Amino acid sequence: MHSIHDNTKTNQVSTPNAEPIKEKLLSVEHLSIQYQQQMLVQNLNFDLHSNEILAIVGESGSGKSLTALAMLNLLPNGLKASGKINYHNLDLNQSQSSNKDLVQDVLQLNDVELRQLRGQRIAMIFQEPMTALNPLHRVEKIVGEVLILSGLTQEQARKKSVALLQDVGLEDAGFLLKRYPHELSGGERQRVMIAAALATEPDIIIADEPTTALDVTSQAHVLNLLQLLMLNKKMALILISHDLNLVHRYANHVIVMHQGVIEEQGSVRDIFQHAKSDYTQHLLDHDYGQPNGLPENAERILTLEKVGVRFPIKTGLLNRIKDYVVAVEPLNLRLKQGESVGIVGESGAGKSSLALAVARLIESSGQIYLVNQDLNKLKERKLRPLRADFQIVFQDPFSSLNPRMNVEQLIAEGLALRNPKMQDVDAQIDDVLQRVELSTAFRLRYPSELSGGQRQRVALARALVLKPKLLILDEPTSALDQSTQGSMIRLLRKLQLQDQMSYLLISHDLHVVRALCQKVMVLRDAEVVEFQDTESLFEKPLHEYTQRLIKASLY
């Protein structure tokens, strides 16, 4: 694996147009998936070859992830798959004979054969690492467990785990081995999950939105690595993604799904240059519109004066502070009523730490003025009444929403602090659901019963119901498909016009930032490297790092 790590430079990876010798690894024939009488996926047919990246794209609910789960026979109870999913040259009995024509249908395998298949011959990288990683296990066990089960000693597994973590761009791998998932950033968790999937060097990797938590440069690093592994090991990659920029850069073949059927499929060049269906052309449209104009004589809502964040490193039995890790170097920022400022940068640059500091969820130095109150000088008792004025919408709504509460209870939770009358609560819940474009029929649904876009709207609704002056949005669209992203952006612009709210937007998606924000701050390694008007930044970026970010975000 070390040789792979040494060659993961962006310019050294061959393009997807290269045509090495290919062998058929997988063929899907007339695959259909249904729930009771409802067809969720219908009559899918495609082949997958070694040294190939096959991308499956489409809106939320189109059947992409269900298709991936069916390939491992992991469909939830109640869902029935028919058709065939044939793995070629697959000898799960590990016989000595070399049978080049051996084909097995995964839908017909027994439990023992499936255990040999999953993780060993085919691995899956899931979309939400916080829910996919065991919160009780350290990184060393998450990555190394399968290596020990394959026969390596504890020390050998540790060394290979370090190499795998370095391969996916985690330089301080030895330090991270002792960390739990909740102690990692979203990007770090995603890379740990990718490292765990690569541990057994499988024949096929199914990557279900593998880079949603990563910035554009980290996305390129991870997919360069996956592409290089594919070419060196004669592997194949099924890339399920709503990020058409990545699909355009890395895929050989594209399948466009819509409402469970294949809308069209072909080479990446044919799909992007000669899309036939209106639906595909709609997906390829990256124009989310322009940000709202600033109101005249708007008052200042947020002022940051030399705000910095650092985390203590504690050691020894007495847990004494040995040193500090700087997450955000002291910075200044001004935000007016009705204005949006975007914060962009790589994973670990300090974006989310700054958002948490502004929301007073972690300690920081400097002054944080919300209107005329310095939040950093207030104790929690005096701060609590002001929290309604600044709300945060987190990146992963599935983990930020209490799974035991329905939508009605989730939205009403914050209102309970004001002791309103029951009829007022009901009216406000109905009103805010209407504002985020959800029907009142969603009131009794639980987070597990919602799509990604619906969960994000609920997370937005529970913040809006308190009528805040400042809304902190931490990657609000990263897990959403192209169409749902556009809908969410239009909704946020409309809400801002209605209420003159101010947005502090944390995002690695520069298309989203350009559509919502009047100004952009670029962070790198905890420092501000550039801060200017949005259009000026996109048209004439001053810093070399900003130029690289913009170039990586466009296709």
pLDDT digits (tens, 9 = 90+) for 197-236: 888 888 999 998 887 767 777 777 778 878 887 887 788 9
Same domain, 276 and 386: no
pLDDT for position 20: 53
Same domain, 272 and 401: no
Same domain, 391 and 247: no
pLDDT for position 554: 63
Across the range 181-196, mean pLDDT stands at 85
DSSP letter, residue 525: T
pLDDT for position 4: 37
| C-alpha triplet 494, 498, 501: angle, nearest 5° | 90
354 in a domain, yes or no? no
Other C-beta atoms closer than 10 Å to the C-beta of 441 total 9
d(CA 54, CA 25) in angstroms, rounded, equals 12
pLDDT digits (tens, 9 = 90+) for 440-491: 999 999 998 887 778 888 999 999 999 999 999 998 887 677 777 888 899 9
pLDDT for position 91: 60
- Give CA torsion, residues 75, 76, 78, 80, to 10 deg: 0
Same domain, 392 and 527: yes
Q: What is the CATH number of the domain that holds 399?
A: 3.40.50.300
Between 129 and 281, the more confident residue is 281
Q: Are 214 and 129 in contact (CB under 8 A)?
A: no
d(CA 462, CA 411) in angstroms, rounded, equals 4
Question: What does residue 153 show for φ and ψ, rounded to 5 degrees?
Answer: -75, 170
pLDDT for position 21: 60
Rounded to whole angstroms, what are the CA distances from 332 to 3, 372, 488?
A: 43, 16, 29
Which is nearest to 488 in space by CA: 526, 523, 461? 461
Same domain, 388 and 487: yes
d(CA 452, CA 483) in angstroms, rounded, equals 12
Half-sphere exposure of 101 (CA within 13 A, CB side): 0
Same domain, 156 and 242: yes
362 in a domain, yes or no? no
Q: Which of 283, 301, 325 is the endpoint of a domain?
A: 283
Rounded to whole angstroms, what are the CA distances from 388 to 12, 339, 416, 477, 492?
A: 50, 19, 12, 23, 18
Same domain, 250 and 344: no
Same domain, 393 and 539: yes
88 in a domain, yes or no? yes
333 in a domain, yes or no? no
Query: Does the CA dihedral 517-522-526-529 come out positive or negative?
Result: negative
77 in a domain, yes or no? yes
Domain count, the chain: 2
Same domain, 279 and 344: no
Here the tokens at position 5 are 């790590």
Across the range 381-401, mean pLDDT stands at 87
Over the chain, what is the mean pLDDT? Answer: 86
pLDDT confidence bin for 494, thresholds 50/70/90:
very high
Strands 38-49 and 390-393: unpaired
pLDDT digits (tens, 9 = 90+) for 309-359: 999 887 777 778 778 889 999 999 999 999 999 999 887 789 989 999 999
Same domain, 250 and 393: no
pLDDT for position 8: 38
Same domain, 53 and 187: yes
| pTM for the whole structure | 0.75
d(CA 155, CA 56) in angstroms, rounded, equals 39
pLDDT for position 13: 47
d(CA 392, CA 378) in angstroms, rounded, equals 19
Q: Are 340 and 502 in contact (CB under 8 A)?
A: yes
Q: Which of 241, 265, 283 is the endpoint of a domain?
A: 283
pLDDT for position 19: 52
- Looking up tokens 């990246």, which residue turns up? 53
Strands 340-345 and 502-506: parallel
443 in a domain, yes or no? yes
293 in a domain, yes or no? no
Indicate if the pLDDT at residue 18 is higher than 60: no
pLDDT for position 90: 63
DSSP letter, residue 183: G
Q: Which of 283, 298, 314 is the endpoint of a domain?
A: 283
d(CA 168, CA 219) in angstroms, rounded, equals 10
187 in a domain, yes or no? yes
Please give the residue range of the domain that contains residue 383: 338-348+379-553
pLDDT confidence bin for 239, thresholds 50/70/90:
very high
Across the range 149-161, mean pLDDT stands at 91
Same domain, 250 and 342: no
